[in-house]
Copies of this chain bind each other. A is one copy, B any other.
Amino acid sequence: MASSETIEPAAGVDGPTWVYDFADGSRGMRALLGGKGANVAEMTRLLGTGRIPAGFTITTSACVAFLGERPHAYPEGLSRQVDAAVARLEEAAGHRLGDPRDPLLVSVRSGAPESMPGMMDTVLNLGLGDRSVEGLAERTGNARFAWDSYRRLLQMYANVVHGVSGERLEAQIADVKRDCGAALDTDLDVAALRELARRFKALYREHTGEEFPQDPRVQLDGAIRAVFESWEGERAVHYRRIHGMPDDIGTAVNVQQMVFGNKGETSGSGVAFSRDEMTGAPEPSGDFLLNAQGEDVVSGMRNTQDLADLVRIMPAVHDELIGALRTLERHYGDMQDVEFTIEEGRLFLLQTRTAKRHAQAAVRFAVDAVAEGLLDRERALLTVDPSTLDALLHQTIDPAFGGAPIATGVAASPGAAKGAVVFTAHAAVEAAARGEAVVLMRPFTEADDVAGFHAARGIVTSEGGKASHAALVARGMGRPCVAGVASLDIDVEAGEVRLKATGEVIARAGDLIALDGSSGAIMTADVPLVDPPQNACFDTVLGWADELRRLGVRANADTAADAARARSFGAEGVGLCRTEHMFLEADRQPGMRALILAESDEQRAAAVARLLPVQQADFEALFDAMAGLPVTVRLLDPPLHEFLPGLTELEMQVERERAAGDAGLADTERLLERVKALHESNPMLGTRGSRLGILHPGIYEMQARAIFRAARTLRERGAEPPQVEVMLPLIAYEREIELMRALVERVADEEAFDRSELSIGTMIELPRACVIAEQIAGHADFFSFGTNDLTQTTIGFSRDDAEKALLGAYLDAEVFDRSPFETLDTPGVGRLVELGCEGGRRARPGLKLGICGEHGGDPDSIAFFHAAGLDYVSCSPFRVPVARVAAAQAVARELVAAEPSAASSAAGSAPIAAVSAAPSSAPSA
């Protein structure tokens, strides 16, 4: 076979190097060794071979070569190299694989360059057999440990390597437990474990037609082949496709010596953080258990000891651990979370990864890391997960409170709230007027309920998810919201909330309810709420972000209160004021209805005259709150029937009134006629946006007039007006924007508003607008991508409808892994956004480009908008700090990529460059 070896140009006399000992690899060899292999090698390199259980990695190239053979087969040289690596491992560990008296045990794990689902699970304790299990029992003096290890190997091997169903295996455990009266797995004695091993072997034989292999080397080859094969498993293939990852990379295989923390009182297992993961305080924290394995620590079945106790019990081990934590943190340039095992007084580190941390810890670490000279500002900013920052702006449940929720739903809008239950927006408004704190509970919400959102402290729904109406409106206002609490029956008619499962009534109108929109918890207890503290570290991080980012950050705000809050969160203007919300307020709706139902020019004029001053007052307040900053006012967008009663409701009313001979019948019938005429089978694709402006110019004229008068009034009062930007919604054709722009300009002239101070632009929210952006840009001073509607039309998903069943089913079926309404669908919608940007800038190089959909507050989407060359994002007020940080991170990533090892702004000793994610996992016993 010498000829095949000569094909590989880099190969030595033994052909390509398929196997690397941990001691010979490093972080830079991720493509060849996979993420796990490269990281365990890096730890070995950093901390020395003695601290990391020894082992070796079979390369991704070996996997590719294996899968390239027909039938699949080890490439030339691999078997020989595995033999050699096993021999080296045996030497280092001082045991032999398969030694009947003192067997070396190993774990086998997959490890692709990027982690992905569907890859083979871990096989532990590999190396045991019918004889060596007895040897292990004897050598450790712990027969239960030995047999438990063996039955675990049998179970995992049968399941993972040969596909015996997990349920069938678990059923055996249940059987044996029943037979010997054991309640828990840990109650099983040696005899029961022996019986279990026998049964697993029988199952193995039945399933494979062969005996369980007693030869550890055969076990090892089986596990290695299973890892290789899992690269082509269905889930992994789908995952790569969704994420645009190539198929010809392959996965590595990691073989590592097992260590045991359950060998007596000088052994133990634990987890440790390099700093406090809640506060960010610079002292390491953690938990451990003596004479225990790692899974005992995380299972929570035994009460763990604080890491500080270790200094007393095993001071040397403690110091060694602290030293290792510092080394790792310094090396990876981020807080680390480490799993460790102490085997008979000797410390082994099994895994290190970037620590998950609370927002408070995140900002503190970033600030401290720069002060300590550990990181420069760009890299420090990149350690903060912006999606957690919301938590620093809202009230929360006192962490000291330990009550359990009675139900849990979707964490739809962060923050905690409590109050008396109300079931209607009307009741919420009335109670709020009396100064009462209320929580609005509804099966789902609609446009009519928005007034209730303002009045309530929090919102709970039993239907819908993160993109439901309730969630969107609540996030926009910063109201805590838990949506889709499927276990609750919110019965508005009966005025009670019941548990679906039992029918038990948990609250009636007026009863206290509490919700945590950050966790999705619903409680009936009077939970203590705490305000978010002043946070100097957060302010520092935001200050850095503002210096660094190129994207502007504005807020979507419909009221002066929202605008003022947004400004306090750092918004640089209003990117979207939805004027329709103004007409849904109780005092506006009659005027709007009168306008829609007007049958003569006089009636129409009267209705306009009634609405104009109200609308003007709205704008005055909003403009005042945003003095000097840009404010984008979108003219009326939704179809008119949203301001009228529902069709079904009216038809039933007519029927009732007819039966009762009601005097109001004629009026109701006329209203019904109008509602029927305006009824649309697909309102999302109907007469709305600028189409309304073309069919019913009176409404847009009134709105434009109110805008210009409000600005003038402010100026006359001596107040600074904002930079007024009038936005025309739902433009698909050049002629539409031309007509509507002419209308707005005419009203501006009539109101003596200086045209040079007026900016007129459009939402780009239809695929056609993206495709013909060049033509539209000829009439637009700015584009604002309305990515909510653009997502709906591009994918053909009505958000309301998709929420009902489709999104969940699609996540399950792996059509996508995040809702396109949460994170921008970049290959589809994103491509159209890019086309829109390119076309717009081709026609008008200085065209201002923004985005005002929900995606404006989503960090991943913000990174895309940065790359697409937009000028600003606009998001709900509470997302403004998130967006500021995410926008800065987009720049920081560019800078770091350009200068991967340079420190640009940190003071003190040379900071360490470590931006690509720290290792996410490594072996644990």
Which residues does A use to contact B, with CB under 8 Å? 238, 241-242, 647-648, 651-652, 655, 677, 680-687, 691, 694-695, 730, 732-736, 738-739, 765-768, 771-772, 775, 789, 792-798, 800-802, 804-806, 809-810, 813-816, 825, 827-829, 831-832
Contacts and interface: CB of A to CB of B under 8 A. Distances in A.
A772 B695 contact: no
B694 A831 contact: no
17 contacts: A680-B800, A680-B801, A680-B804, A681-B683, A681-B798, A682-B684, A683-B801, A685-B793, A694-B809, A732-B796, A735-B816, A739-B813, A765-B796, A767-B793, A767-B796, A771-B794, A793-B794
Given A242-B735, A732-B828, A805-B687, A766 B794 contact: yes
B828 A685 contact: no
A793 B682 CA distance: 11
B684 A810 contact: no
Contact of A685 (B732, B792, B814): B792
Nearest to A778: B241
Contacts of A739: 813, 815
A242 to B, nearest CB: 7
A771 B828 contact: yes
Contact of A652 (B651, B771, B804): B651
A734 B241 contact: yes
Given A739-B813, A796-B793, A772 B683 contact: no
Given A680-B798, A682-B683, A831-B771, A733 B805 contact: no
B735 A238 contact: yes
A857 to B, nearest CB: 23
Given A686-B801, A766-B794, 12 more contacts: A655-B655, A680-B804, A683-B801, A685-B796, A687-B806, A694-B809, A694-B815, A732-B797, A733-B810, A771-B794, A771-B828, A772-B831
A828 B772 contact: yes
Contact of A800 (B648, B681, B732, B801): B681
Q: Which 9 pairs between the two chains have the least Cβ-Cβ distance? A: A685-B798, A682-B798, A768-B828, A767-B767, A686-B801, A680-B801, A766-B796, A735-B815, A648-B648
A806 B766 contact: no
Given A681-B800, A685-B801, A694 B813 contact: yes
Contact of A768 (B736, B765, B795, B805): B795
Contacts of A648: 647-648, 651
Contact of A732 (B684, B734, B795, B814): B795
A569 B546 CA distance: 69
A805 to B, nearest CB: 7
A805 B695 contact: yes
Q: Tell which of A684, A730, A801, A802 has the most Cβ of chain B within 10 Å.
A: A801
Nearest to A242: B735
Contacts of A796: 684-685, 730, 732, 765-768, 789, 793
Contact of A695 (B766, B792, B809, B827): B809
A798 B816 CA distance: 27
A491 to B, nearest CB: 15
Contacts of A735: 238, 241-242, 813-816
A623 B90 CA distance: 70
Contacts of A682: 682-685, 792, 798, 800-801
A829 to B, nearest CB: 7
Contact of A801 (B681, B795, B814): B681
A827 to B, nearest CB: 5
Nearest to A766: B796
Q: Tell which of A775, A789, A804, A829 has the most Cβ of chain B within 10 Å.
A: A804
Contacts of A789: 796
Contact of A684 (B685, B738, B795, B825): B685
Contacts of A684: 681-682, 684-685, 796, 798
A314 to B, nearest CB: 52
Given A798-B681, A798-B682, A767 B832 contact: yes
Given A238-B735, A734-B241, A829 B655 contact: no
Given A655-B652, A681-B801, A767 B794 contact: yes
Contacts of A792: 682, 685
Nearest to A810: B694
A371 B685 CA distance: 53
Q: Tell which of A681, A694, A734, A775 has the most Cβ of chain B within 10 Å.
A: A681
Nearest to A734: B241
Contacts of A829: 768
A683 to B, nearest CB: 7
A143 B885 CA distance: 89
Contacts of A794: 766-768, 771, 793
Contacts of A828: 732, 767-768, 771-772
A733 B695 contact: no
A500 to B, nearest CB: 15
Contacts of A680: 798, 800-801, 804
A827 B771 contact: yes
B694 A827 contact: no
A666 B765 CA distance: 44
B806 A695 contact: yes
Nearest to A739: B813
A648 B672 CA distance: 13
A873 B46 CA distance: 67
Contacts of A801: 680-683, 685-687
A733 B816 contact: yes
A684 B801 CA distance: 10
A690 to B, nearest CB: 10
A828 B735 CA distance: 14
A694 to B, nearest CB: 6
Nearest to A770: B767
A685 B771 contact: no
A686 B732 CA distance: 22
Contacts of A686: 798, 801-802, 806
A687 B804 CA distance: 10
A684 to B, nearest CB: 4
Nearest to A816: B733
A822 to B, nearest CB: 16
A470 to B, nearest CB: 15
A810 B732 CA distance: 12
A668 B330 CA distance: 69
Contacts of A832: 767, 771
A600 B816 CA distance: 29
A825 B681 contact: no
A832 B765 CA distance: 16
Contacts of A800: 680-682
Nearest to A774: B827
A402 to B, nearest CB: 38
Contacts of A733: 810, 815-816
Contacts of A767: 767, 793-794, 796, 828, 832
Contacts of A734: 241
A853 to B, nearest CB: 15
A789 B734 CA distance: 22
Contacts of A694: 809-810, 813, 815
A732 B806 CA distance: 13
A506 to B, nearest CB: 23
A902 to B, nearest CB: 38
A652 B659 CA distance: 13
Contacts of A813: 694, 735, 739
A43 B831 CA distance: 54
A514 B775 CA distance: 47
Nearest to A814: B735
A67 B694 CA distance: 31
A475 to B, nearest CB: 20
Contacts of A241: 734-735, 775
A802 B688 CA distance: 11
A796 B691 CA distance: 11
A806 B691 contact: yes
Contacts of A804: 677, 680, 687
